[in-house]
Amino acid sequence: MSDPSDREHRASICDTLIFERTLVGSLFGLDICACPVWDMLLDLYRARQQDKPLYCWPVTVAAQVPTSTAYRKLEMMERRDLVTSLPPQKDRRQNRIELTSFSMNQMDRLMDQMWQRCSKVPPSIL
């Protein structure tokens, strides 16, 4: 997508996906549908779009799983070049976490494809 409204479309899809995760969790329970990596990717993507820094602690809280699990998932994401952690600070919770350019591009592609798919849905279904 190269349209100037790409950013708005991507933000809209991302917000919808975050809402969906919250809704499913509230209706069925977070323990049944936990997907911490996806939750963190969505939060990091939205933060980057808004030019807001995200730090380790809020990212792990957003994962809605035990902190130790969230940290393990972050470490796995870093090994897979999905996120990067800026140089360690005194308090590990204050490390800034960002999507890598690879994962940002992948998330852009995902949001673009979701937008294209949603734009084909007849309004009567929505």
Domains identified in the chain, total number: 1
Residue 105, domain extent? 6-115
The string of pLDDT tens digits covering residues 80-124 is 999 999 876 666 557 899 999 999 999 999 999 999 988 876 666
Tokens of 2: 């190269």
Mean local confidence (pLDDT), 11-32: 91
Residue 89 · residue 45 · CB < 8 Å: no
Decide if 19 is inside a domain. yes
Looking at residue 65, what DSSP letter applies?
A: S
pLDDT for res 4: 52
Task: Output the domain CATH number for residue 107.
Answer: 1.10.10.10
Q: Is residue 64 part of a domain?
A: yes
* Within a domain: 1: no
**Considering the domain boundaries, does residue 80 fall inside one?**
yes
Residue 124 lies in a domain: no
What pLDDT, on the 0 to 100 scale, is given for residue 37? 94
Tokens of 100: 């890598």
Q: Which residues contact 12 (CB under 8 A, 6 or more apart)?
A: 115
CA distances for 124 relative to 102, 120, 121, angstroms? 37, 12, 8
Residue 1 has pLDDT above 50, yes or no: no
Q: What is the pLDDT of residue 95?
A: 85
Identify the H or E element spanning 78: helix 67-79
48, HSE (Cβ side, Cα atoms, 13 Å): 22
Average confidence (pLDDT) over 4-19: 90
Which tens digit of pLDDT belongs to each residue from 59-84?
Answer: 888 888 888 999 999 999 999 999 99
Q: How confident is the model at residue 126 (pLDDT cuts 50, 70, 90)?
A: low
Residue 88 lies in a domain: yes
Tokens at residue 9, please?
């479309």
Q: Which of 74, 81, 114 is nearest to 96 (CA)?
A: 74
Q: Give domain status of residue 66, yes or no.
A: yes
Beta bridge partners, 98, equal 84
Is residue 32 one of the residues assigned to a domain? yes
Q: What is the mean pLDDT of residues 8-22?
A: 94
Q: pTM of the full predicted structure? A: 0.85
3 state SS of 63? coil
